[in-house]
Structures are given as C-alpha cells and as structure tokens.
Structure 1
Amino acid sequence: MSYKVILQDKYDLTPLVEAINLRDSLEQIAYQGTVNLVVTPDLPPITPGMAIRISGIPYGKKDYVTLLHPAVVWEVETTNNGMKRMTITLYDRTVYLDKSEDEYLFPAKQTATQRFKKYASDWNLKIAKLPDTGKELGRAVYRTQSLYASMFADLRATAKAGGKLYHPRMIASGLELYELGTNPDVYVLEAVTDTMQTRTLEGAATKVKVLATAASETGKEVPSKVLTIEEKDVARYGQLQAIIQDDEVKNGAAARELARSKLRGIQETITVNAPDINTIRAGDAVKLGQVQLLVISVSRELGNPGSMSLELGTYDDVKRRFYLE
C-alpha cells in the first residue's frame, strides 16, 4: 500500500489497514477520513483525541507527503463478527473551529484578513498562509455561534463586496486561507470512468428585489423601502423571485450590483468518477476536457490504484451557491 497511517507520531497502523476513505467539501471546513483496521493483540489502545496522520505518494511522484495532517481521532467504533475490526473517524484540526463557539463584535472597515488574525490570536492558531483579502467589511456582530460560522460570514461578506473566494484549510504548517482555484498543478481529468451531469432550476432567481432594513414609524409597521429590482430570463424560466435585505447596502448602485450577483438561471453540477489523484482538494481547479471547473467536493478511496468521485461546478456557480446565499 502506498499510504501510511501513523498514530501519535510513533505507531504505524499501516499493516492493519483494510481501507481508507477521505472526504473534503466546500460545505464543511474539516477534511474527514475513515480508516478501517483489523484488530490484533499488538494494536495500541486508540481513543478519541489522539493525534493521527495519513500520508501518501502523490500521482506521478515517488516520495510520501502528508495528505491529512495534523488530524485528530474523533470517533472509534469496534465490531466483532468472528474477526474484530475497528473503524476510526478522524478530522483535520479545523474541526475544533467548527465545534467551538464564541462571540465577536467587529467594527466596520476591517478586512477578513484582519479578523482572521484576531481569531488566530484568540485561539492560538498557527497561521501558514493568510493573504490580504483586500475588501473592507461592514460592522459585524456574531453572537454565540461556531468560530467557523463567523469566519465564513467574513468570507461571504468579502465575496459580496466583489472580492475573491476563499476557504480555510489546515495544512501541516498551520491554518491556510486558500483562494479557490489557485492550485499550481491543475490536473486534466482524462481517465474518467463515468460522468453525471445535473441541471436544475432549484435555487434559481430570475427576479431579485433588494430592500432597505424595515423601520417603524410611531410604533406602526411600514413596508420596507425597495432599493432596486433586477430581472433576467423571466420569459425563459418563469418568475422566481428572491428578496435581499442587507444592512450594508446603502445606495442604489450597491443594491443593483448585489441584485445582479444573485440572478441565476439553471444551476449545473457535474459528478465524475476517476482514478484517484490524492492531492486534489475541495476548492481546487481541474480541467474536464477544455473546461476549467472548481471541485465542490471530493470523496476518495485510497489504494493502488484508488478511486475518487468529484462534484464539479463553474466558478460562478460556486460563488452563487456558497458565497452569495
């Protein structure tokens, strides 16, 4: 097997491994792994909270690199059906950002980069790469919610302000704020075993109305002020109206820009199954034929050869689906 599973930096579990599955998705922050083991007398005790890592040899390379590290054992399940087996569920350590709650009050005119520095300082997070997101954000009040929910709210606000798309990742050297689609090696998916294309109007919006925050006069409820209404493809797809109420939209120009970014017709996703390229992560760019797409999610079964299933979408679809909702 061209993979290694190391527990607590000293126990090599690789000879006992029956299967390794990994999942990465833009819908979650933590890279997730499942390792199936045969239980033998020399297997060390394994409990949640232990450090664990998975390494492998990348496609076309000769040397091992860490694929899931630093990671933590999250759940351990043991079964005995004549032969004792163990299933370990593990996550990279961004799982703690998803499972921990905090409150934050941020002033206006800060960037997501500045706020991430605050998160890192408060939570003793080692930063590997933190680019300048460049867009000043409005005032934010984050009441009790997961740390990742606050982080992602900043990244969505950055995208809404016309900024680039980012996703947090944990790599061996620390927390990385990764700009989607900037992977240096863009793999061309050639040996695809099967492809499924889904096109749907679910989530479409052909008419978008932007409202100012409602205010009451002398205790009476009054209708919200309409800042703008934008339409596209109503005759083609029918009227599917979305309403946006955003405190940060102060004028008509900003309202029009926001409304147009919300207009969307058919949403298309492509799922492909192919031999595994084990370094492809959610948010990476890949090529299917001549078309460059972003990886929305990847599920892989490690092996020699392994297999992977990729959910793919265009940059605009990913932006609308995850960052403009």
Structure 2
Amino acid sequence: MSYKVILQDKYDLSALVEAINLRDSLEQVAYQGTVNMVATPDMPPINPGMSIRISGIPYGKKDYVPLLHPGVVWEVESSNNGTKRITLTVYDRTIYLDKSEDEYLFPAKQTASQRFKKYAADWNLKIAKLPDTGKKLGRSVYRTQSIYASMFADLRETAKAGGKLYHPRMISSGLELYELGSNKDVYILEHVTDTTQSRTLEGAATQVKVLATAASESGKEVPSKVMAIEKKDTDKFGLLQAIIQDDEVKSKAAATELAKSKLRGIQQTISLNGPDINTIRAGDAVMFGSLKLLVISVSRELGNPGSMSLELGTYDDVKRRFYLE
C-alpha cells in the first residue's frame, strides 16, 4: 500500500494496515479517517488522544505528502475473531473546534478573519493561511455552543453580505480559512462510474421578499415593512415566494442584495464514483465534462488503485444550501 500511517511521529504502522477510509464534507469541519489494522504483540499501545499522520502519494506524483495531518486518535476499537484487529477512528485537529463549547460576545465591524484569529488562539491552533474576508459583521452574541458553530455563523454572515465562501481546513502547517474553489490544481474527472444527477424545484424561490422585524404600535399589530422584493424566472417556474426576516439587514441595498442571493431555480447535485484522486478535499473545484463544480463531500478508500465517491454541486447551489439558509 502506497500509504503511511505514523503514530506519535515515531511508530510506523503502515505494514499492519488492511484498509484506510477517509471522509471530508462541507457539513463537518474535521477530516475523518478510519484505519483497520492487524494487531501484533510488538505493536505500541494505541490510545485516544495520541497524534497520528496519514500520508500518501498524490495522483501523478512520486513523493509522499501528508493527507490527514495533524491528526488525533479519537476512538480505538479492538476485536478478536481468531486474529486480533484494531480499528482507529481519527480526525484532524479541527475536531476540537467542533467538540468544544464556549461563549463569545463580538462587537460590530469586525471581519470573520479577525474573529478566526481569536478562535484559533483560544484553542491553541496555529494559523497557516488567513485571507481577508473583507465584510464587516454586525455585533454577535454567541451563547453556549461549539466553537465551530460560532465560526461558521461568521462565515454565513460574510456570505450573506456578498462576501466569498470560506471553510475552515486543517493542513500540515496549521489551520487555514479556505476559500471554496480556490485550489490551483483543478482535476478533470474522467473514467467515472455510477453517475447520478438530481435536478429539482424543491426549495426553489422565484420571488423573495425581505421584511423588517415586525413591531407593534400602541399595542396594535401592524404589517411588517417590506424592505426589498426581487424576482426571477417566475414565467418559467411559476411563483414560488420565500420570506426573509433578518435583524442584521439594516439598509435597502443590503436587503436587495440578500433577496437576490436567495433567488434559486432548479437545484442540481451530481453523485459519482471513480478512481481516487487522494488530494481532492471538500470545497475544491473540479471539472466534470464542461461543468466546473464544487466538491460537497468526498468519501475515499485508499489503495492501489483507490476509489472515491463524490457529491458535487454548482457554486450557487453550495452557497444557497450551506451559507444562506
């Protein structure tokens, strides 16, 4: 197997490995791995909390690079059915952002980048790459919730304000705020099998109305103030209206921008299986035929050859599904 599994930076477990599966998704922050191994009497004891690294040779290359690193052993399960085997569940270290809770009170006019520095410092995570997200956010009060939930709330607000889409990602040099689709190597997916394409009007909105928060006057209920109405493709798909009430939208221009971003017609996702390209991560752009799509999730079985299952979507569909709902 052209993959290496290194425990605590000194124990090479590669010869004991029977299978490695990895999963990455925009629906979770941490890259997840499952390692199945044969246990031997001379192997080191493996316990949750230990550091671990999974490396492999990228598609078309010759040298090993870290795939899941820095990683942590999260679960250890052993079985004995004549031969003793061990199954490890491992994550990259962004798992600590997902499994830790805290409260945060942020003033207005900070960017997601500025807040990202605070989260990383509080949880002792080195920052590898931090672009300027640009959009100034409103005052935020995050009561007891996971660090990742607070972080992603900032990224959603950035997207709602017309900013780019970002996802936290752990790489060998530390934590980065990754701009979706910004990968330099955009792979063309060929030799794929089991392709499924789904197209639906479920969740479509051809007219969007943004309302100010309703208020009563002298004890009487009054209609909500309409801040913006935008429509598109009502003649093609019919009138499907969505209503948005958002306290963070203060101006007509912001309301109009938000309404436009919520307009959506046919939503399309593509699922496919194919030979593994082991450096493709969730959020990367890939080419499928003439379509440039984003990877929503990837599940892979490492090997020679390995295999991967991808869920793909357009940039606009990913934005609506994960950042604007």
TM-score (norm 2): 0.96
Amino acid at match of 2:50: M
> How many Å separate the matches in 1 of 2:39 and 2:214?
62
Tell me which residue corresponds to 1:48: 48
Residues 197-239 of structure 1 show CA distances to partners (whole Å, capped at 9, x for unaligned) of 1112222222222111222334554442222232333343344
Q: Where does 1:196-275 land on structure 2 (aligned, <5 Å)?
A: 196-275=196-275
Which SS does the other structure have where 1:182 is aligned? coil
Tell me which residue corresponds to 2:21: 21
Which SS does the other structure have where 2:55 is aligned? strand
> How many Å separate the matches in 1 of 2:17 and 2:215?
61
Tell me which residue corresponds to 2:105: 105
Amino acid at match of 2:30: A
Tell me which residue corresponds to 1:296: 296
Residues 107-159 of structure 1 show CA distances to partners (whole Å, capped at 9, x for unaligned) of 11111111111222222221100011111111111111110111111111111
Matched positions, count: 325
Tell me which residue corresponds to 1:74: 74
> How many Å separate the matches in 2 of 1:168 and 1:68?
14
> How many Å separate the matches in 2 of 1:290 and 1:235?
28
Shift of 1:49: 0.9
Q: Which moved more, 1:20-29 or 1:235-244?
A: 235-244
- For structure 2, list consecutive stretches of 5 or more residues without a partner in the other structure: none
Change (3 A) 1:164 1:44: same
Q: Where does 1:83-232 land on structure 2 (aligned, <5 Å)?
A: 83-232=83-232
> How many Å separate the matches in 2 of 1:36 and 1:276?
19
> How many Å separate the matches in 1 of 2:253 and 2:10?
59
> How many Å separate the matches in 2 of 1:30 and 1:241?
36
> How many Å separate the matches in 2 of 1:270 and 1:235?
26
Residues 157-185 of structure 1 show CA distances to partners (whole Å, capped at 9, x for unaligned) of 11111111111101111100111111111
Residues 297-316 of structure 1 show CA distances to partners (whole Å, capped at 9, x for unaligned) of 11000001100111111111
Q: Which moved more, 1:213-222 or 1:35-44?
A: 213-222
- For structure 1, list consecutive stretches of 5 or more residues without a partner in the other structure: none
Tell me which residue corresponds to 2:283: 283
**Cα contact 2:97–2:123 (8 A) shared by 1:** no
Amino acid at match of 1:100: S
> How many Å separate the matches in 1 of 2:288 and 2:154?
31
Tell me which residue corresponds to 1:4: 4
Which SS does the other structure have where 2:217 is aligned? coil
Amino acid at match of 1:319: K
Amino acid at match of 1:167: H
> How many Å separate the matches in 2 of 1:57 and 1:280?
13
Amino acid at match of 1:187: Y
Shift of 1:13: 1.1
Shift of 1:272: 1.6
**Cα contact 2:72–2:93 (8 A) shared by 1:** yes
Query: Over aligned residue pairs, what C-alpha RMSD do you find?
Result: 1.4
> How many Å separate the matches in 2 of 1:208 and 1:31?
36
**Cα contact 2:162–2:257 (8 A) shared by 1:** no
